[in-house]
Amino acid sequence: MRKSNVILLWLTPIYIWIAQLTAYIHEYGHSFTAWALGFKANPLDIIYGGWSWQNFIFVANIDENVNYALIDQLGHRHLISLIAFAGPGIITLSIYLITLYLLRKKFNSYLYCLIFWINLINLRELWAYVPLRALSTTADIANINYSLSLSPWWIFILISPFVAWAVLNFFSNTLQNAYEKLGLFSTSSKATLLILTVVYFFTLTGLQILTANYNSITNTLTWASFVAIPFILFLCWPKRSN
């Protein structure tokens, strides 16, 4: 493994940590929408999560700090969907699409690697929303369903194929292109990046959902998602260079 590849590998935790900070932009999406609609006095007033090691490492305890129950009580149930949608449907999706476009451009390997991880982390967020938590009774998707009086199955059925395609595109195209853009030519360096992305995408996402207070169907979908891990590793495992 080349020296530059080793440096990128050691920098990976820093890249992931920086990329995870885009979650704050997601929460600001909710908060600024609520503020624009007149339901918050300060759009910067979100829950930043404190200084626990879990929040510092995984950005795990942040929240938009929007009082959806009060909005409902004030008779604006239909506006809840706009606020709830702003996070995943506008911010997270936009970051994913912008970074997907940027990954087609030429950057030095260090900047490219950061864009790569921002793309993966926001795709991971979309995956965590739909399909994994699409049938949950709490959080953003549940708020959208409640606001619009939708069966949760509609979002699950209609949106899941698009997110599944995006995940397939990442491992079959984005990751393969990253090998070349990052200068990963050895089998070991390619395999290392593949394993890191698979573990982060599926395992960490699954553990975060399974250790939270979601319903049984959400947990079942999360457990089922682990089935993809061996298939992706087998199908995407880098071939030995000649």
pLDDT tens by residue, 75-123? 999 999 999 999 999 999 999 999 999 999 999 999 999 999 999 999 9
pLDDT recorded at residue 71: 98
181 alpha-carbon distance from chain centroid: 23
Instruction: Compute the distance between CA of residue 178 and CA of residue 193 in angstroms, rounded to an integer.
Output: 9
Nearest CA-CA partner of 113 in 207, 187, 9, 240 = 9
Nearest CA-CA partner of 228 in 146, 186, 153, 172 = 172
Burial 147-171 (b: 16+ CB within 10 A, else e): beeeebeebbeebbeebeebbeebb
Asked if residues 175 and 116 have their Cβ atoms less than 8 Å apart, the reply is no
SS3 of residue 47 by DSSP: strand
pLDDT recorded at residue 112: 97
Neighbour tally for 75: CB within 10 Å: 8
Phi and psi at 94, nearest 5°, equal -65, -45
Q: Is 239 left (phi over 0), alpha (psi -120 to 50) or beta?
A: beta
Neighbour tally for 13: CB within 10 Å: 11
pLDDT recorded at residue 242: 52
Which are the contacts of 4, defined by CB distance < 8 A and separation ≥ 6?
109, 183
Instruction: Compute the distance between CA of residue 147 and CA of residue 37 in angstroms, rounded to an integer.
Output: 15
pTM exceeds 0.85 for this model: yes
pLDDT recorded at residue 3: 73
223 alpha-carbon distance from chain centroid: 18
How sure is the predictor about 1, in pLDDT bands with cuts at 50, 70 and 90?
Answer: low
The answer, yes or no, to whether residue 125 has pLDDT greater than 70, is yes
Which residue blocks in the chain are alpha helix, DSSP H? Answer: 3-20, 22-36, 53-58, 68-73, 77-85, 93-102, 109-127, 139-148, 152-169, 175-181, 187-198, 205-210, 216-225, 228-236
pLDDT tens, residue by residue, 170-206: 999 999 999 999 999 999 999 999 999 999 999 999 9
How sure is the predictor about 54, in pLDDT bands with cuts at 50, 70 and 90?
Answer: confident
pLDDT recorded at residue 5: 79
